[in-house]
Amino acid sequence: MTKWVADEMPDLNGKTAIVTGANSGLGYEITKALAAKGAHVVMACRSMDRARDAESRIERTVDDPSLSIMELDLADLSSVREFASAFESEYDRLDILVNNAGVSMPPYSTTADGFELQIGVNFLGHFALTGHLLDTITATSGARIVSLSSGGAHLGSIDLGSFRGDEQSYSRWSAYTQSKLAMSQFAVELQRRFNRDGNDTKSFAAHPGWSDTNLPRHSPVAIPDFVLNRVSMPAEQGALPTLYAATDPEAIGGAHYGPDGFLEMSGYPELATLPSGVKDRQTAKRLWTAAEELTGVRYPSENADTTTVSEPAEA
C-alpha cells in the first residue's frame, strides 16, 4: 500500500455516518475528514457543549459541512438505546459507523449499569450500539463498521469476571488492554457473521498507533514530552487507518488496520498484526455470549457452521 492520505477517500455525498466521541481527538479528525468528502456525519457525543464547540471548529475549516449532533453516553445502556431509537426515527440508512469513543486508564469507576468503566464504555457500550443499529446498517448497501482497538490489545486477555470488578483488584492497564482486545474480537466475529449471512456489510478494527490525543491523560506512567514528540504523530494522521477502513474500496472486511511504521506506532495505513487473542475462537464466542447477556442486546443467532469462513487478514 502506498502512503494513503485522507484526500484519497472517495466522494461520500449521500452517505450517512455516525462517529462516537466526535468532539475531540481522533473522533474530531475522523468527523472533519468524512464531512470534507461530503458525508453527513452524526456527532454522537456525551457532552453537548463540547460537541457544539467541535461542530463550530469544523464549520470554520470545512466548506459547508453536513453535521448534526446527538447525545450519546456509552456508559449508560439506556442512553445507547435512546440514541439508536432517535437515530432510526430520523434516518433510514447508515453507511459508516465508527465506534471511536473511549476511556483510557482512569481511576476505578463503574458505568450506570455497574460495569467497570473501560470495558463498559469501550466495548459493551459499542456492542450495544452496533446491535441496536444493525438492521439499519445491514439494510444499507456496502455499509461499514470500524471499531477502534489499540496496540495494547496485544497485551490483553479476557476475564469475564472482571466486567463487574471491584476497586481492590482493579488494574488500569489490564482493564484497558482487555477492553481493546474485546473490540478487536468483536470486529472480527462480526465480519464472520456477515460472511455467514451473505451480507455485504464490512466490519473492521483499526488502531491509531501512538497519536497525540488526550485519551491517555489518566495514565499512571508519566512519559516525558521529548519522548512523546519523537514517537507520536498528530491525531489527524492517527485517524488515517480508521478512515481507510471506513471508505477505501480495497479495505478487507475482518482485517485490522494501523500505521505502517516501527512497532505500528506511527506512519500510514497498512494491514496491522492481529492480536493473538483474536485467534482464540472459544474465548471470542464466550465474550459474545456474555456481551449479549450483559447488555440485553441480541444479534442474529449463530446457527450455522462457520468453519469455512476465511480467517481475518493480517500483516
In the numeric block, the cell 432517535 is attached to: 86
What are the phi and psi torsion angles at 61 (to 5°)?
A: -115, -20
Q: Is 13 exposed, middle or buried (0-12, 13-18, 19+ CB in 10 A)?
A: exposed
Residues 6+ apart with CB under 8 A from 226: none
**Could you tell me which of 39, 91, 36 has the C-alpha nearest to residue 236?**
36
C-beta neighbour count of 212 within 10 angstroms: 17
What are the phi and psi torsion angles at 99 (to 5°)?
A: -85, 80
C-beta neighbour count of 131 within 10 angstroms: 21
Query: What is the Cα Rg of the chain in Å?
Result: 18
Amino acid at 83: F
DSSP 119: I
Q: Which residues are part of the catalytic machinery?
A: 176
DSSP 96: E
